Structure 1
Amino acid sequence: MRVSNIIAFFFLIVVGCVSVNSLQASFRNVISSAKDIGVGVVKDVANILPTPKGMFEASKQLIAGYPFEFVSGAINQICSAALSSETISPKITPNISVMQFQLCTACNKYNYSLLNAEDMWKSPEFDSKKKVVIFATGWTTTINDNKAIETMAKAYNCRGDVNFVALDAGRFVDTLYTWSAFNTDEIGLNLAKGLVKLSKIVSVEKIHLMGHSLGAHIVGAAGRYFQQLSGSLIPRITGLDPAKPCFNEGATLSGLLRGDADFIDIIHSNPGVLGKRDPMGDIDFYPGGLDPLPTGCVSVVCAHERAWRYFAESVYPGSEANFFGKRCTSLTRLREGKCPGYDVPMGFAVPRNAKGNYFLEVNGAEPFGKNGAKALMNLQKECGLCKTETKRFAKGLFG
C-alpha cells in the first residue's frame, strides 16, 4: 500500500467514511506497509499525519471508539519506524525557559519558571511542612483553564495537607512525530533538576509525581533522571492512561517504566487507543476492563480523561475506598467470581505492597466508583474551593 493511500485511509477513518467492518482487513495492510516505509517517505508522513488535537476532535463525531484502536496501531508502527531511523528530529524543540510550574491553592494560582524551581519551593505560598504532588498534563493542554488541573487541585485542596503543583507540557506537542526522546527527556531532566532542589527543602518521601497521557512519560523520565542526579528513588509515580502512540518498551521511546520510582501505579481508561494497554507499573488498574470505552463514554477523548477523573474522585476525604479492584485476568472472570484475593483500592489510597493487574467495575457517571455515595459527592462540591467561591456556591444552592 502506498504511503499516500495510507494517509488517505487515515483521514477516511477520522471523518467516519470507512465502515467498522472493513477496518481489520484494511489495517493489516496499513500496518504491514508502515513497517516498510523508507526514511525519506517517513519525513513526508510526519508532515501529513493528523495532530492529537485532530484525532480528539474527530473522535467526538464517532459513536464507537473501536476504529481508533486500529488507527492508533498503524500510527504507532509508522512512528516507531521513523524514530528508529534516527533521521527524525523534533519539529518543536521544547523551550524550557518559558515552561512553568503552577502552585495551585484554593484561592490562587502562582506561576514559577521551571528553570528556577527554587523560587517556588522558597515562596511563602509553598508550605514545606506539607507533602508535594506534581501533576504533568498531556495532549493539547495548556496550564490555564485546564479541567484536569482544576479538578485535581480542588480535590487535593479539599484534603488540605498537600502542595499541589501543575506542570504543563502539552503546548510542546504538535504532531505525533514531535514526541522525540529529546522532548520527553529534556522536559523530564529539567523537572528532575527542580526535584533535586525540592528534596533539600522537603523530604523526598513526601514527593508524589503524577502524569496524564504524555505527562505520564514526562514524569517517568523525571524519575529516572532524579535517581541519576540524587541517588534516590521518587517514592511514587502515578500514570493516568499513559499515552500509547510512539511509546513502546524496548524501542526508541520506552516512556514510563517499572523502576522509574519505588512504586508505580497505573490507571488504564482508554487501553489500546490513546492510552497504553499493556501493564506498565507495579500495579495496573483496568476500570471497566480492556474495553477502550468505559461505561458512560462514547468517544475516546471521554475515555482518555476518565483516568484523572477516577483518581480525583478517590482523593476526597471519605472517598478513598470508592474504587475497589481484584487481581484478575479479565472483567469477565471478575464478574464470574473467579478472581481470588483481597479487594485493593484504586487511586489515592492504593497500598504500596500491592502488585499485579487489577480489574474493577465503574459507574458511567459521578460518582464513578461503585462504592461512591451521591450524597457525599454533593457535600464535596464546595470542598477545596476558596472561601469566596464557597460562599458563592452556597448562595446559589440555597438562594
Structure 2
Amino acid sequence: MARIALKMLPLQVYLLLQLLVSFPSIHSIEFTLSDIIESAGKVGSSIVDPSLLPTPQGLLDGSKQLIAGYPFEFVSNSINTICSQALASNKIMSKYMPDINKMNFQLHSACEKANFPLSNPEGMWKSPLFDPKKKVIILATGWTTTVNGSDTIDEFSKAYNCRGDVNFVALDAARFVDTLYTWSAFNTEDIGEHIAAGLVKLLDLVPVDNIHLIGHSLGAHIVGSAGRHLRRLTNQTIPRITGLDPAKPCFNEGEVLSGLMRGDARFVDVIHSNPGVLGKRDPMGDVDFYPGGMGPLPAGCLTVTCAHARSWEYFAETIYPGNEMNFRATRCNSMSRLRDLRCPGNEVPMGYNVPHDVKGNYFLEVSGSSPYGSHASVVRNAQLEQCGKCPASSTKTEVATSTRTSRLWF
C-alpha cells in the first residue's frame, strides 16, 4: 500500500524522498567525523615532515571544495541515478513537448535583435542583418534561460559583434527548457532535431564549414543532437561543436539520453567548470578542458551555480580580439601533475582559437575574477568594455553614469 501511495506522489516530491532516503544516517556521519578528529589528533601528536604539510592556500581550496562543492556532487549523483532509472522505464513524458512552430532563431547585431521561426528560417537568411558571406554562430543556452535578459546571450552577442566577422544567432526554445529539469532534459533530443531541420535550409545559402554550434548546460546536449540529426538528414557534418559545462543529471552515455559526444561534429571541444555536479566530469569531446582542475568549484566560486556559469564566461572572454590566448592549457592527467611541472608538451589555447587537431584532456590555471585567463591583460580588458555594444546604448550609459555622478555632489 505504501509503495502505491509513493508512486502517486508528484515526481518532484518522489525524487526528493528518494534523495532523503539515500543520505547516510546521522549516526554514520557522527562516526565518520569522530574518526577524522581522532586521526587528526594522532597526526598532530606525531612528528610530521614539514614539506608534507598542506600550504595555507591548499587548505583554503580543500575546505572550499569540502564545504561547498562535494556535498552537492553527492546530491547530483543521486539525482542522476534516479533520473536514469525513470527515463529507462519509458514512463517519463515531457509536460511540454517541443513544437517547432513555437521556437525561434534570434539574430543579433550590435543594436538589433530579430526573431525568425525555426520552421521558416528563410526570413532570417533574407534579413539585412544577415550576411551570407560570414560564418554563423548558433548558441543554445541551458535550463531556465530565455533569450531575453540572458547574461550568457548578451555577453556572447557583445563579444561576437566586437569581432564583427560572424552572424551571431541565439536559439529561443525557452518554453521547452524552462520546466521541471527532467522534462527539460527529455526535450533536448527533439529540440536538436528541430534545429537540424532549420539548418538544412540554411545550407542552401551558407556552406556547412561556416557553421559553429555552441551550447551551455542543457544547450550543449541540444547542439549535439542538432549535429547528429543534420548529418542524418544531409550527410554533412558540422565542423565544430563547443560544449560549455554540459549538464550532468540524466545524461549518461549508452542510456536513453546520451547527450553531446565526440562524433557529433568533426571537432568537439568541451570546457568543464563544475565537473561532477551540474556539469559532466567525464571526457566527452575530442578535447576536454578542465580549468582549475576536476574539483567542483574553480577559483573565485563558492557556489555550484557560479561554477556552472564560469564555462561560458571563460569562452566569451576569448572571443574578444586580442584575448584568444588568455587561457593556455597543457595536456595532462591532473591539476597536481601540472602544478608539479610533470606534464610535457606545448600549451594550446582554450576557447575561441583552439586548434582543431588537438586531442585529450587539458588542464590550466585560471584567475578567480575577470579577466579569468592567466595570460589576460587587465588594460586590454578595460579597453574592450565598450566594444560590441550599440553606440546609442553606450551613449545612454555614459549619460546615465554622468547624471548619477553629478547627483552625488548634491
TM-score where L is the length of structure 2 = 0.82
**1:286-324 deviation digits (Å, cap 9, x = unpaired):** 001001110100111100000000000000000000000
Contact 2:228–2:264 (CA under 8 A) maintained in structure 1: yes
Does 2:291 correspond to 1:287?
yes
Contact 2:143–2:184 (CA under 8 A) maintained in structure 1: no
Alignment partner for residue 348 of structure 2, among 344, 361, 367?
344
Match of 2:238 in 1: 234
Match of 2:183 in 1: 178
Alignment partner for residue 326 of structure 1, among 315, 324, 330?
330
Match of 2:35 in 1: none
Q: What is the rounded CA distance, in whole Å, between the counterparts of 1:318 and 1:257 in structure 2?
A: 30
Match of 2:223 in 1: 219
Q: What is the rounded CA distance, in whole Å, between the counterparts of 1:5 and 1:114 in structure 2?
A: 36
Following superposition, the deviation at residue 389 of structure 1 comes to 2.3
Mean alpha-carbon deviation: is it higher for 111-120 or for 325-334? 111-120
Does 2:136 correspond to 1:132?
yes
Listed as ranges, the gaps of 5+ residues in structure 1 are: 26-61
Match of 2:62 in 1: none
Contact 1:327–1:339 (CA under 8 A) maintained in structure 2: yes
Q: 1:11 and 1:164, CA in 2 relative to 1: closer, same or farther beyond 3 A?
A: farther
Alignment partner for residue 368 of structure 2, among 350, 360, 364?
364
Contact 1:283–1:356 (CA under 8 A) maintained in structure 2: yes
Match of 1:33 in 2: none
Percent identity reads 57
Match of 1:7 in 2: 16
Q: What is the rounded CA distance, in whole Å, between the counterparts of 1:207 and 1:165 in structure 2?
A: 11
Contact 2:329–2:347 (CA under 8 A) maintained in structure 1: yes
Match of 2:127 in 1: 123
Q: What is the rounded CA distance, in whole Å, between the counterparts of 1:337 and 1:285 in structure 2?
A: 18
Contact 2:330–2:348 (CA under 8 A) maintained in structure 1: yes
Q: 1:227 and 1:171, CA in 2 relative to 1: closer, same or farther beyond 3 A?
A: same
Q: What is the rounded CA distance, in whole Å, between the counterparts of 1:69 and 1:253 in structure 2?
A: 20
Aligned positions of 1:76-95 closer than 5 A:
76-95=80-99
Contact 1:211–1:218 (CA under 8 A) maintained in structure 2: yes
Q: What is the rounded CA distance, in whole Å, between the counterparts of 2:398 and 2:354 in structure 1?
A: 33
Mean alpha-carbon deviation: is it higher for 5-14 or for 87-96? 5-14
Match of 2:358 in 1: 354
Q: What is the rounded CA distance, in whole Å, between the counterparts of 1:24 and 1:86 in structure 2?
A: 40
Match of 2:59 in 1: none
Match of 1:262 in 2: 266
Alignment partner for residue 199 of structure 1, among 198, 203, 212?
203
Contact 1:176–1:246 (CA under 8 A) maintained in structure 2: no
Following superposition, the deviation at residue 10 of structure 1 comes to 3.9
Match of 1:161 in 2: 165
**AA of the residue aligned to 1:178:** W
Q: What is the rounded CA distance, in whole Å, between the counterparts of 1:162 and 1:335 in structure 2?
A: 37
Following superposition, the deviation at residue 204 of structure 1 comes to 1.1
Q: 1:301 and 1:231, CA in 2 relative to 1: closer, same or farther beyond 3 A?
A: same
Give the SS at the match of 1:326.
strand
TM-score where L is the length of structure 1 = 0.84
Mean alpha-carbon deviation: is it higher for 239-248 or for 160-169? 160-169
Mean alpha-carbon deviation: is it higher for 91-100 or for 207-216? 91-100
Contact 1:23–1:70 (CA under 8 A) maintained in structure 2: no
**AA of the residue aligned to 1:88:** I
Match of 2:77 in 1: 73
Give the SS at the match of 1:91.
coil
Match of 1:64 in 2: 68
Q: 1:312 and 1:24, CA in 2 relative to 1: closer, same or farther beyond 3 A?
A: farther
**1:367-392 deviation digits (Å, cap 9, x = unpaired):** 10000011111011000011112334
Q: 1:365 and 1:208, CA in 2 relative to 1: closer, same or farther beyond 3 A?
A: same
Match of 2:10 in 1: none
Report how many residues are paired: 358
Larger Rg: 2
Q: What is the rounded CA distance, in whole Å, between the counterparts of 1:250 and 1:6 in structure 2?
A: 23
Q: 1:125 and 1:334, CA in 2 relative to 1: closer, same or farther beyond 3 A?
A: same
Q: What is the rounded CA distance, in whole Å, between the counterparts of 1:130 and 1:122 in structure 2?
A: 14
**AA of the residue aligned to 1:7:** L
Give the SS at the match of 1:116.
coil
Q: 1:389 and 1:24, CA in 2 relative to 1: closer, same or farther beyond 3 A?
A: farther
